[in-house]
């Protein structure tokens, strides 16, 4: 990738307001100022664009997570079992699959990786290199604990735990060059695509074996242990993708029951997800690959807006040209095949290609920031991003209070297109509350707790009246 072009077309005042015109991160660059090295980053040290990405990704993730909040789990991938698969419901599933599925998580993961590198690099350049590892690992271990609490006690779709696990891996990778980081990410993506191909043929062969087993059962033949295993595996795969009415009823009753009933039901799934070995492609490689890309793009200056507007325009066009058709084809194929299990598994081959759309969103956001237009929008998104941890947990608390039985009990009672009214409501709360909160406090409430625990020192919380921003 070529060197950054500072002739971006935006005037100096606009870039200063956006605070994105910073050079690529260089470990030899020094920071000036009298702030202690072991202290959370100041507002004036933040990269504005990263906060905007984080806020955009935080809001966007709910476009997909809302399905898991308000509908049975299978509805996320397959609209037939629940939520509706015709009319506006089918259109909504198609639209979210093409524009949001995997992309918002990619942006969030990418920003997380960039922020981890930025923190470590900042500590090193302030003369606290020896303490950087301690700060980083302490930070990740506290996040891991927060993730466990969130997953078991609030919502099973937690992403904090896997982020913390992959964050532990990032520290020894921080000194790798952008080329090596991008190569590593590409290898992980190829491994995931290869695993998707392997799984597709595995399930396809499993289906063939199951049909043969059915014939054997009709003939009264005794099944071998291998046949019994294949039969059980196929039936479980079908159950996960297209659960029966009885399975859907069981899941719905758990969500509409008491808090402790839901806790027991949720704990089984959380334990299963957390038990995946860290070397398994899913979900770990999904998250790690984007974190590596985030570190690389920050080092290159791409995420901080150091390139020309022409560069970001081409980045957007190419990303959308690759990503949108790939996922559009997958949606078309699933509909054509009437949402069969085979058709869904086959679309896994284009899933990673479809996530290129995320880079298109990033490029468009940087174009908007560099142009100076929509400043109130970008400033608000940045404030949402500065409180991403608190807003993420707030989203879970609001949605579970709306959908679960110990709240308003709307789980499974809304159609797919209707649940997006809840998304707009949650967005409104976050977009209104975040700027108001940050007028009076340095951090979001959970960010403050996290930083205080990380630095093992109570951090300033309230903003003095004279310093309100």
Query: By C-alpha distance, which of 3, 2, 7, 1 is closest to 309?
Result: 7
Could you list the beta-strand ranges (E) of 190-302. Answer: none
Q: How crowded is residue 13: how many other Cβ atoms within 10 Å of its Cβ?
A: 9
Residue 337 CA to residue 229 CA, distance in Å, equals: 27
pLDDT in tens, 290-330: 999 999 999 999 999 999 999 999 999 999 999 999 999 99
pLDDT the model gives residue 126: 80
175: left (phi over 0), alpha (psi -120 to 50) or beta: alpha
Residue 34 has pLDDT above 60, yes or no: no
Is the dihedral angle over the CA atoms 53, 54, 56, 61 positive or is it negative?
A: positive
Domain-located, residue 58 = yes
396 in Cβ contact with 154 (< 8 Å): yes
Query: What secondary structure does DSSP assign to 317-383, as a single string?
Result: HHHHHHHHHHHHHHHHHHHHTTS-HHHHHHHTTSHHHHTTHHHHHHHHHHHHHHHTTTHHHHHHHHH
Is 34 a domain residue?
no
* 321 found inside a domain: yes
Q: Which domain holds residue 309?
A: 46-111+150-157+177-282+305-467
363 pLDDT band, cuts 50/70/90, is very high
Q: What is the DSSP letter of 462?
A: B
Model pLDDT for residues 199-231, shown as the tens digit of each residue:
999 999 999 999 999 999 998 888 999 999 999
State how many domains the chain has: 1
Residue 14 included in any domain: no
Region of residue 374 (left: phi > 0; alpha: psi -120 to 50; beta: else): left
Question: What mean pLDDT do residues 441-459 have?
Answer: 94
pTM score of the predicted model:
0.89
Let me know if residue 311 belongs to a domain: yes
For the record, the structure tokens of 199 come out as 């799984």
């Amino acid at each position: 990738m070529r060197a950054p072009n500072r002739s971006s077309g935006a005037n100096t005042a606009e870039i200063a307001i956006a605070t994105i015109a910073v050079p690529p991160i260089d470990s030899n660059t020094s920071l000036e100022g009298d702030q202690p090295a072991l202290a959370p980053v100041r507002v004036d040290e933040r990269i504005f664009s990263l906060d905007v990405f984080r806020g955009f990704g935080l809001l966007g993730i709910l476009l997909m997570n809302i399905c898991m909040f308000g509908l049975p789990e299978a509805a996320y991938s397959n609209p037939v079992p629940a939520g509706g698969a015709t009319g506006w419901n089918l259109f909504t599933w198609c639209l979210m699959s093409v524009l949001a599925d995997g992309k918002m998580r990619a942006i969030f993961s990418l920003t997380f990786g960039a922020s981890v590198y930025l923190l470590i690099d900042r500590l090193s350049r302030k003369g606290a290199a020896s303490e950087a590892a301690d700060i980083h690992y302490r930070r990740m271990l506290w996040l891991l604990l927060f993730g466990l609490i969130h997953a078991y006690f609030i919502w099973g779709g937690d992403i904090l735990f896997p982020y913390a696990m992959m964050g532990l891996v990032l520290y020894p990778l921080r000194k790798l060059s952008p080329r090596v980081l991008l190569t590593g990410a590409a290898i992980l993506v190829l491994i995931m695509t290869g695993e998707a191909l392997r799984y597709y043929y595995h399930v396809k062969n499993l289906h063939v074996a199951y049909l043969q087993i059915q014939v054997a059962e009709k003939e009264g033949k005794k099944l071998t242990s291998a046949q019994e295993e294949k039969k059980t595996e196929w039936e479980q795969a079908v159950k996960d993708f297209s659960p029966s009415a009885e399975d859907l009823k069981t899941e719905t009753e758990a969500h509409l029951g008491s808090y402790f009933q839901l806790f027991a039901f949720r704990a089984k799934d959380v334990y299963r997800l957390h038990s995946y070995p860290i070397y398994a492609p899913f979900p770990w490689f999904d998250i790690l690959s984007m974190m590596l890309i985030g570190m690389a793009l920050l080092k290159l200056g791409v995420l901080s807006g150091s390139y020309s507007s022409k560069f970001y325009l081409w980045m957007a066009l190419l990303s959308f040209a690759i990503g949108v058709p790939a996922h559009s084809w997958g949606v078309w194929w699933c509909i054509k095949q009437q949402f069969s299990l085979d058709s869904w598994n086959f679309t896994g081959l284009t899933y990673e290609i479809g996530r290129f759309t995320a880079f298109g969103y990033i490029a468009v956001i940087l174009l908007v920031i560099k142009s100076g237009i929509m400043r109130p929008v970008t400033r608000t998104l940045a404030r949402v991003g500065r409180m991403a941890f608190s807003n993420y947990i707030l989203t879970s608390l609001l949605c579970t209070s709306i959908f679960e039985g110990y709240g308003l009990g709307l789980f499974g009672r809304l159609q797919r297109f209707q649940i997006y009214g809840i998304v707009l409501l949650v967005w409104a709360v976050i977009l209104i509350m975040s700027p108001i909160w940050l007028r009076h406090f340095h951090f979001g409430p959970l960010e403050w707790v996290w930083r205080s625990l990380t630095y093992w020192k109570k951090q300033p919380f309230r903003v003095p009246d004279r310093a309100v921003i």
